[in-house]
Amino acid sequence: MDKRTIVRKVRLSPEEDALFMRKAARYKAVSAMIRDAVRQFDDTATHGKVKALKEMTALYRQYQQELSWLGGNFNQTVKRANELAIAEELTPQFFEQTLYPQVAEIQKLINSIKGELHDIAKEVSKL
């Protein structure tokens, strides 16, 4: 075995020191526990988080794009209904009492979905 001559100093809070001591209880020394932890350390979890973040970002973009297309189609439909109402091919009463409440509800739903996607993206980006 190589002679251990290098010393690393680490600053710890009292809570961290207590945690180190609890974790090192089954080892001969704290340094043995730290060497073992470093040998076992694998940044697979970090790679997994980055992969998940990339997948979530792609999904987020896809949904944003689909919502944009949906919004465009929705606006065209409402515009056409408005044109029909102006041309008196669609009664103003039908437009105001039936169509408009549905349009308002769909618009709220689209905005809600966009807001939820934004909130998810914010949470995922914290990882």
Q: Is the pLDDT of residue 67 over 80?
A: yes
CB 32 within 8 A of CB 78: no
CB 51 within 8 A of CB 60: no
CB 120 within 8 A of CB 56: yes
CB 60 within 8 A of CB 121: yes
Classify residue 113 as exposed, middle or buried by CB count within 10 Å of its CB (0-12, 13-18, 19+).
middle
How far is residue 84's CA from residue 92's CA, in Å, rounded to a whole number? 9
Each residue of 3-30: pLDDT tens digit?
A: 888 888 999 999 999 998 999 999 999 9
Each residue of 43-63: pLDDT tens digit?
A: 777 777 778 888 888 888 888
Confidence (pLDDT) at 12:
93
Go through 72-102 and write b for each residue having 16 or more CB atoms within 10 A of its CB, e for each that does not: eeeeeebeebeeebeeeebeeeebeeebeee
Residue with the two structure tokens 């190589």:
2
Each residue of 75-113: pLDDT tens digit?
A: 888 888 888 888 888 887 887 888 888 888 888 888 888
CB 105 within 8 A of CB 113: no
